Structure 1
Amino acid sequence: MSVGMALLLAVVAICVVVFLIERCKLNPFLALFLASMLLGFAAGMPASHVVSTFEKGAGQVLGQIASVIALGTMLGKMLEVSGGADRIAMTVVALAGPRRLDWAMMVIGLLVGLSVFFTVGFVVLVPLAFSIARQTKMPILHVALPVTAALSVVQGYMPPHPGTMFALAAYHADIGRLIWMGALVSLPAAIVAGPLYTRFIVPRLPADTGAAAAGAHGANTPPRDPASLPGFGITLFTILAPMVLMLAGSATRFMGPQAGAWVQVLRFAGDPNVGLALAALLSFWTLGLRRGMTREKVLACSNECLGPLAGLLLMIGAGGGFGAELMESGISDAIARAAVDMHVPLLVLAWGLAAGMRVAVGSATVAMSTTAGIVAPIMVHGSTISPELVVLATGAGAVMFGPMNDSGFWQVRDALGLSVPQTLRTWSVLETLIGVVGLAMCVLMQACGL
């Protein structure tokens, strides 16, 4: 297949996905499925091979990450219902004091965001932001924007969030390296988009921005009793447990195959599935049973949080199937050759494709999964760039712009009582800062040989 034809088919397939999602309002899973079928037929693949390729791609991706996402969701649910997020917020704010409140909210967002999806973290933490703003008499945006930025940063750069896990599997990255490299990217991105941008933009907005929402929330939301919340130390330990296990498991790869039995145990416990299963079980005890929650309540929480995952997992599986069609048809190989011939830096290519998809479809997860399907074959062609950096560059592109077709745009607007122009000046700009800083950090880390 010629490079021109391959590029044309890939562009048309992506346009079909965008059209079906945006214009026809189809579920992203169905849009990706239909686009994958059309792509396979257009590339000349036999009908039976088109279907089997999609099944293989979807099954491979879901086999690698479905259980990780489900277990991470259970851990996040326990953090939510137990009040662990409230405890972290209260403790960090008390330690930081009112002068560093925006920095404290950024730390809260980073810690809580490790275990919960953006939507859940926003729903849990924004009421706390209203309460803290009311108690400290600070503008609500001064408190809410840093935590919102931090939640978005972790969603884009850190496992076990869905888009990151999809790209990790597609690029065959190491999860331990991704965690510490993701932390190196996340911190400056959160600082620039959080406290620094908040201090720049809040004085430039009308003084009463968000005041109506803050007043309405304060009238309807009673504060939680601190005595009913779990301790800060045990909550933090529970949140960080899976990260520590995965880092330890990754570190054992430097110890060789003849290492002792304890190394084998660490390798097993450091597997993402095992590490998150152990952390979920730990949360059932530390944040549930130990706090007086019944076994039935713990079971109900773990069952309840799995229901909303169905659509997300189907969408991720369809992204895997779409990528498999690109590879089996030869389209991705042709695109890889074209990218190599044009000398497009791989990090810039991944970032640009993900940013374009983000604007087109709104969803960061769809942007990451579609981009990974296109970029992954280039990794097979002998790329010397760290696959972990390609994951992070893809995540940086996927959070860009905060467009109006992203559900997060309207969630932030409605919760904080902003107008559309104000949401563009706050949410959309901080999302763009996260993506630009993320790419800059990836390029810097590549230059340093990481």
Structure 2
Amino acid sequence: MQLAIIGFGVLLLLLLMIVFKLNSFISLILVSLVVGIMEGMPWVKALTSVENGVGSTLGSLALIIGFGAILGKLMEDSGAAQRIATTLIDKFGKRRVQLAVVITGLVVGIALFYEVGFLILIPLVFTIAAEAELPILYVGMPLVAALITAHGFLPPHPGPTAIANIYKANLGKTLLLGIPLMIPSVFIAGIVYPKFLKDLDCKIPKGLFNPRKLKEEEMPGFGISVFTAIIPVILMTFQAVVEIFAPKSPIVAYSSFFGNPATALLLSVLIAIFTFGLFRGKKMKEVMESVSQSIASVGMIILIIGGGGAFKQVIMDSGVDKYIVSFMGHSQLSPLIMAWLIAAVLRITLGSATVAGMTAAGMIAPLVAVSNVSPELMVLATGAGSITFSHVNDAGFWIFKEYFNISIQKTIKTWSVMVTIISLCGLAGVLILNMFF
């Protein structure tokens, strides 16, 4: 009966979001309350559980999401993202342009949200394709593959970070495992798969975008752009390496502080204020305007993640988590496969990768505590599932379709299949890594 109520809650979530087009955050809060009451919780206790879930989830994530958004906006407004892209493309040349855009997508994608990275770099895709006389999707698909993979696999992106919070996974270790996992996924989906497709060209839509191409002297240097963007990665990786190889070293206290995602991103933001702002001749007021705009852009993302945390907390406080452990604990199916499968089903039905990952993690989190599976691998499995087959209920589908000016059928053949390949490669990589952890 308890699992039936959870199933009803998921169906209700689908009904509210898909049929009634209700906002994801409002839907998650309503479903959390309904599930809690149906599970036998007093109404006031259900409300308290929702409040605690939102608070505990955002308590550790709000800083990370906020600082990440600020860093991304500073990169965008200063031209640092444009500098990284154009420099790599110039260095690699026409023959290796796909590799250049993949590296661009990986570097920029670590610091920027998927939609932001896409909108910043898509004008460069059009420019590169025209100058190199290459099909637009031949250049665009590798870039998009890198951006969406970083979005689904790597902290400090909101989805993977929120999922790691639920599983109590180490973000540094998740990053260390995620980077080598995403490289073959991007290569197969973004570079190999397009070779099997015909007609990768399309017409650049008129009036759909208005690229702001900065002049050479207006942009920061390549080295400082890359360094500022990857400071969080460097610090988080350092913290994970120290924890793995020198857990009793005196420097653990320092690595834990500076390797904390919130601290790492804060340091990167502070440096970016100078490297992307003040040192470029901008006034502090102008830089702070970018900061304000960045925070406004992630408000709904923060609320949706909080709503996912509320659903998770209700499952735990109502005692369903113990029932899930006893019910699924006898299953022969790997928790990694289970996490991927639940996230994939929710992704296909809901459209939102963040909601799918958060909901799946909340449902399956109790298994992590009673199994020997790595919580970091659980994060990657859930993240991989959350970006599988994207179709008409996903905003990412329509962004890809409209900017590349292609039909729905062609969007499914390119975008939808590509993200599914990434998802399956991610699951395969997680299962391989599980043999060694």
Name the TM tier (shorter chain).
over 0.9
Give 2:62's aligned residue.
Answer: 66
Contact 2:126–2:204, Cα closer than 8 Å, also in 1:
no
Q: Shift of residue 357 of structure 1?
A: 0.5
Q: Shift of residue 336 of structure 1?
A: 2.4
Residue 13 (1) aligns with residue 3 (2): no
Q: What CA deviation, in whole Å up to 9, does each residue of 1:332-372 have, x standing for no partner?
A: 22222222212111011000000000011100000011011
- Supply the distance in 1 between the matched residues of 2:423 and 2:212 (Cα, whole angstroms): 36
Residue 211 (1) aligns with residue 203 (2): yes
Q: What CA deviation, in whole Å up to 9, does each residue of 1:105-160 have, x standing for no partner?
A: 11111110001111000000000101111111111111111101110000000011
Q: What CA deviation, in whole Å up to 9, does each residue of 1:180-227 have, x standing for no partner?
A: 1000111011101111112222xx12x6x41243xx379965753223
Give 1:386's aligned residue.
Answer: 374
Contact 1:389–1:442, Cα closer than 8 Å, also in 2:
yes
Q: What CA deviation, in whole Å up to 9, does each residue of 1:79-123 have, x standing for no partner?
A: 111111111111111121111111211111111000111100000
Give 2:424's aligned residue.
Answer: 436
Q: Structure 1 218/391 Cα, relative in aligned 2: closer, same or farther at 3 Å?
A: closer
- Normalised TM-score (structure 2): 0.97
Residues 122-161 of structure 1: matches in 2 within 5 Å? 122-161=118-157
Give 1:194's aligned residue.
Answer: 190
Contact 1:396–1:435, Cα closer than 8 Å, also in 2:
yes
Task: Report % sequence identity.
Answer: 35
Give 1:226's aligned residue.
Answer: 216
The unaligned stretches of length 5 or more in structure 2 are none
- Supply the distance in 1 between the matched residues of 2:16 and 2:170 (Cα, whole angstroms): 34
- Supply the distance in 1 between the matched residues of 2:114 and 2:249 (Cα, whole angstroms): 39
Residue 420 (1) aligns with residue 408 (2): yes
Q: Structure 1 38/105 Cα, relative in aligned 2: closer, same or farther at 3 Å?
A: same
- Supply the distance in 2 between the matched residues of 1:102 and 1:9 (Cα, whole angstroms): 48
SS of residue paired to 1:114: helix
Residue 245 (1) aligns with residue 241 (2): no
Give 1:177's aligned residue.
Answer: 173
Residues 78-97 of structure 1: matches in 2 within 5 Å? 78-97=74-93
**1:253 is aligned with what amino acid?**
E
- Supply the distance in 1 between the matched residues of 2:327 and 2:184 (Cα, whole angstroms): 33
Q: What CA deviation, in whole Å up to 9, does each residue of 1:256-305 have, x standing for no partner?
A: 77643x54323211111111100110111111111111101110000111
Q: Shift of residue 252 of structure 1?
A: 3.0
- Supply the distance in 2 between the matched residues of 1:445 and 1:253 (Cα, whole angstroms): 19
Give 2:338's aligned residue.
Answer: 349
Contact 2:111–2:229, Cα closer than 8 Å, also in 1:
yes
- Supply the distance in 1 between the matched residues of 2:52 and 2:214 (Cα, whole angstroms): 48
- Larger CA deviation: 60-69 vs 246-255: 246-255
Q: Shift of residue 246 of structure 1?
A: 1.3
- Supply the distance in 1 between the matched residues of 2:295 and 2:347 (Cα, whole angstroms): 26
Q: Structure 1 256/417 Cα, relative in aligned 2: closer, same or farther at 3 Å?
A: closer
The unaligned stretches of length 5 or more in structure 1 are none
- Supply the distance in 1 between the matched residues of 2:401 and 2:216 (Cα, whole angstroms): 29
Quick one: which of 65, 73, 76 aligns to 2:72?
76
Q: Structure 1 183/256 Cα, relative in aligned 2: closer, same or farther at 3 Å?
A: closer
- Supply the distance in 2 between the matched residues of 1:225 and 1:435 (Cα, whole angstroms): 38
Give 1:50's aligned residue.
Answer: 46
Give 1:39's aligned residue.
Answer: 35
RMSD across aligned positions (CA): 1.6
- Supply the distance in 2 between the matched residues of 1:217 and 1:257 (Cα, whole angstroms): 56
Give 2:311's aligned residue.
Answer: 322
- Supply the distance in 1 between the matched residues of 2:394 and 2:306 (Cα, whole angstroms): 21
SS of residue paired to 1:404: coil
**2:407 is aligned with what amino acid?**
S
Q: Shift of residue 312 of structure 1?
A: 1.1
